[in-house]
């Protein structure tokens, strides 16, 4: 049934097309509602064509309190955490990719094990711990935790990309007396630009959409990132202005959609497992 | 000199110890205390009292049941089967249709969790799109978030997570050697038989891995459910992560909430070990 047919019959193709279009229609409905409501004057909860498209909802939410502050907070939090994740992942991946010792395999297996642990489960004790060590409600504390939760997968991906860089060039650099860090910065990294980009963007997308971590660790309204402020926006008002909520959701989602498009070509299914699965 | 070579691994290791291993250790300790939200200094060791309480707590048992329903419905049945079906159909469809499906399904996956929750909340509300369609088809509509909340959040999770399975199965199907499917066709194996006897065995490892990862993802869903239903009405969509949060912050029982968290973590760790086995990582 699946697998590769010898002759693609026209009827078979037609059936597949129709089935996929039906599935796509079901998937697209909620997305359609988002786009249509954002330009609808008094939007409700149903998909329907707006009478007269308007940008009022966008101008209503483009204020410091609703959009600019939370988006800036998100950018600071996720940008900082992504930078930390990527730098640590590059540094850690290098020895793991290049040297073989007794510790390499156990270390990598531990990393792979950690990638799939449900981080959600430890958020309650993390909250308690952050209260004890006075990191609660600090942007840098939250960024440190976010960065760490993304780190195992970033190391794993980065090591796989690094394995693809041939050793020969490094050996040449070594014989010229370059140090480890010099070799990494001047020889290896320039050769794995796309890999670093993928890890950076993927980590950023994951953090940008993360709700639970900032929801638990940040308390002051002026520090909340968009993921949490949007929640208070539609969770705590009696009368929700759906059009404005849709407009804000769209603004908040746009960066990750655009970033994903940038790296989509390089992401096969194999990526999703960080290359851990063959066949 | 030899140690110096391993120096670059230090920052990452330090972070992982401080912010991941540390909290996990702390989690184990707090689970055996009666810590409350109010006075963090007053935590006494209470042994297995929290766990005894959990197993005798009807609400906890309900949460376990709902977690199972949520996981089986949305991850094992929904995402996994739908992902495989989409991947299989995409191999046969015309290119524009394939591209369109991929884009829409992946867009649902890339959207931030809270936006997805809000969209699906709007979709399932009494005055939402789903009921509009049912009315149009002259089928009975209802207030889904009230009557069948666990079904609504399961559907939401399928909507949001199917892309992952689709990507994995697309990759797995594209790796099946042409000769094998051709041989099966020549031998006259029909569609369903070919699927069962040829295709599925060829991608069995991907299926196992995908099921593991999906289940682990689904076990830790919090934001989607919290934003859609708050675990209600009447606790009828309270899965373990929501239950744990509720006990710790709305009832101030940090110790008890953490004990539940530890159980969740242990289940997750067991799944992770199975995943490692299946992945047979080439480390």
Residues A97 and A214 in one domain: yes
Per the structure, the complete domain to which residue A45 belongs is given by 3-54
A234: closest CA of chain B, how far (Å): 8
* pTM of the shown model: 0.89
Residues A251 and A123 in one domain: yes
Q: With beta carbons under 8 A apart, name residues in chain B contacting A17.
A: 93-94, 97
Residues A239 and A196 in one domain: yes
Neighbouring C-beta atoms of residue A81, cutoff 10 Å: 28
Check whether B67 has a pLDDT greater than 90.
yes
Identify the pLDDT of residue A277.
38
Distance of CA B171 to the CA centre of its chain: 21
Residue B6 lies in a domain: no
The whole-angstrom separation of Cα B187 and Cα B244 is 55
Average pLDDT value over all residues in chain B: 88
Q: With beta carbons under 8 A apart, name residues in chain A contacting B279.
A: 112, 273, 276-277
Residue A106 lies in a domain: yes
Residue A275 lies in a domain: no
Q: With beta carbons under 8 A apart, name residues in chain B contacting A40.
A: none
A127: closest CA of chain B, how far (Å): 9
Identify the pLDDT of residue A156.
92
Count of domains observed in chain A: 2
Residues A107 and A204 in one domain: yes
CATH of the domain at B136: 1.10.3720.10
pLDDT tens by residue, chain A, 279 residues: 555 554 557 888 899 999 999 999 999 999 998 998 888 877 676 777 767 788 888 988 888 888 899 999 999 999 999 999 999 999 999 999 988 888 898 999 999 889 888 888 889 889 988 988 999 999 999 999 999 999 999 999 899 889 888 888 888 888 888 888 888 888 888 888 888 998 999 999 999 999 999 999 999 989 999 999 988 876 655 567 788 889 999 999 999 999 988 887 665 444 444 444 332
Residue A272 lies in a domain: no
The whole-angstrom separation of Cα B33 and Cα A182 is 50
Q: What burial class does residue A64 get, using C-beta atoms within 10 Å of its C-beta: 0-12 exposed, 13-18 middle, 19+ buried?
A: exposed
The mean pLDDT value for B56-69 works out to 94
The mean pLDDT value for B7-13 works out to 93
Residue A73 lies in a domain: yes
Q: With beta carbons under 8 A apart, name residues in chain A contacting B169.
A: 269
Residue A274 lies in a domain: no
Residue A115 lies in a domain: yes
Residue B22 lies in a domain: no
Identify the pLDDT of residue B38.
66
What is the crossing angle of helices A10-38 and B129-136, to 10°? 120
Residues A88 and A199 in one domain: yes
Q: And the tokens for A10?
A: 């026209």
Q: What burial class does residue A56 get, using C-beta atoms within 10 Å of its C-beta: 0-12 exposed, 13-18 middle, 19+ buried?
A: middle
Residues A111 and A30 in one domain: no
Instruction: Answer left, alpha or beta for residue B189, where phi above 0 means left and psi between -120 and 50 means alpha.
Output: beta
Identify the pLDDT of residue B194.
81
Q: How confident is the model at residue B237 (pLDDT cuts 50, 70, 90)?
A: very high
Check whether B62 has a pLDDT greater than 90.
yes
Residues A72 and A46 in one domain: no
The mean pLDDT value for B115-132 works out to 87
Per the structure, the complete domain to which residue B45 belongs is given by 27-282
Identify the pLDDT of residue A279.
29
Residues A135 and A28 in one domain: no
Identify the pLDDT of residue A4.
54
Q: What burial class does residue A138 get, using C-beta atoms within 10 Å of its C-beta: 0-12 exposed, 13-18 middle, 19+ buried?
A: middle
With H, G, I as helix, E, B as strand and everything else as coil, classify residue A265.
helix
Q: How confident is the model at residue B40 (pLDDT cuts 50, 70, 90)?
A: low
- Whether the bond between B233 and the residue before it is cis, its omega within 30 degrees of 0, is yes
Residue B229 lies in a domain: yes
Cα dist. A269→A261, A265, B164, B272 in Å? 15, 11, 8, 19
Across the interface, of A16, A31, A88, the residue whose CB is closest to B93 is A16
Count of domains observed in chain B: 1
Instruction: Decide: B30 and B255 in contact? Cβ < 8 Å.
Output: yes
pLDDT in tens, B145-181: 888 899 999 999 999 999 999 988 988 888 888 888 7
The mean pLDDT value for B202-210 works out to 87
A167: closest CA of chain B, how far (Å): 16
Residues A10 and A136 in one domain: no
Sign of CA dihedral B12, B13, B18, B21: positive
Residue B15 lies in a domain: no
Contact A129 B13 (CB under 8 A): no
Residues A205 and A171 in one domain: yes
Of the two residues B280 and A150, the one the predictor is more confident about is A150
Identify the pLDDT of residue A274.
45
Residue B5 lies in a domain: no
Identify the pLDDT of residue A1.
52
């Amino acid at each position: 049934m699946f697998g590769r047919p010898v002759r693609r019959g026209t009827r078979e193709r037609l059936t597949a097309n129709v089935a996929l279009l039906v599935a796509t229609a079901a998937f697209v409905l909620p997305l359609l509602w988002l786009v249509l409501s954002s330009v609808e004057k008094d939007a409700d909860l149903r998909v329907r064509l707006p009478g007269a498209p308007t940008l009022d909802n966008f101008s209503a939410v483009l204020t410091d309190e609703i959009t600019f502050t939370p988006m800036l907070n998100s950018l600071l939090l996720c940008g900082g955490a992504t930078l930390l994740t990527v730098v640590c992942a590059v540094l850690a991946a290098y020895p793991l990719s290049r040297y073989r010792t007794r510790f390499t395999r156990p270390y990598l297996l531990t990393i792979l094990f950690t990638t799939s642990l449900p981080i959600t489960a430890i958020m309650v004790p993390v909250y308690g711990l952050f209260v004890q060590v006075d990191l609660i409600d600090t942007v840098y504390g939250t960024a440190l935790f976010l960065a760490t939760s993304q780190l195992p997968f970033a190391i794993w991906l980065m090591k796989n990309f690094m394995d693809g860089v041939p050793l020969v060039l490094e050996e040449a650099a070594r014989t010229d007396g370059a140090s480890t860090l010099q070799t990494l910065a001047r020889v290896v990294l320039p050769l794995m630009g796309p890999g670093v980009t993928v890890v950076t963007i993927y980590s950023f997308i994951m953090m940008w959409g993360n709700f639970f971590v900032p929801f638990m660790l940040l308390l002051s309204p002026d520090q909340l990132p968009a993921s949490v402020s949007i929640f208070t926006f539609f969770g705590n008002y009696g009368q929700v202005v759906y059009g404005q909520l849709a407009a804000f959701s769209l603004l908040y989602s746009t960066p990750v959609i655009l970033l994903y498009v940038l790296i989509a070509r390089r992401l096969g299914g194999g990526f999703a497992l960080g290359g851990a699965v063959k066949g | 000199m030899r140690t110096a070579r391993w120096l670059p691994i230090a920052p990452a290791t330090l972070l992982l110890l401080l912010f991941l291993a540390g909290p996990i250790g702390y989690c184990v300790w707090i689970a055996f205390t009666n810590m409350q939200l109010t006075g963090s200094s007053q935590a006494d060791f209470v042994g297995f009292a929290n766990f005894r309480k959990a197993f005798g707590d009807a609400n906890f048992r309900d949460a376990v049941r709902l977690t199972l329903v949520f996981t089986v419905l949305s991850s094992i049945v929904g995402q996994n089967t739908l992902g495989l079906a989409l991947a299989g159909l995409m191999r046969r469809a015309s290119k524009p249709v394939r591209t369109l499906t991929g884009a829409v399904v992946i867009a649902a996956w890339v959207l931030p969790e809270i936006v997805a929750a809000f969209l699906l909340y709007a979709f399932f509300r009494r005055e939402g799109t789903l009921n509009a369609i049912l009315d149009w088809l002259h089928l009975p509509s209802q207030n889904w978030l009230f009557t069948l909340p666990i079904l609504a959040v399961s559907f939401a999770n399928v909507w949001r997570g199917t892309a992952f399975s689709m990507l994995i199965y697309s990759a797995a199907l594209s790796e099946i050697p042409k000769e094998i499917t051709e041989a099966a066709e020549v031998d006259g194996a029909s569609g369903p038989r070919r699927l069962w006897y040829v295709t599925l065995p060829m991608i069995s490892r991907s299926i196992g891995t995908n099921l593991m990862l999906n289940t682990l993802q689904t076990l830790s869903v919090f934001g989607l459910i919290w934003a859609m239903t708050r675990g209600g009405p009447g606790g009828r969509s309270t899965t373990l992560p929501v239950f744990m949060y509720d006990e710790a912050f709305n009832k101030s029982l940090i110790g008890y909430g953490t004990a539940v968290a530890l159980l969740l973590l242990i289940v997750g760790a067991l799944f992770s070990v199975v995943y490692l086995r299946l992945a047979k990582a080439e480390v």
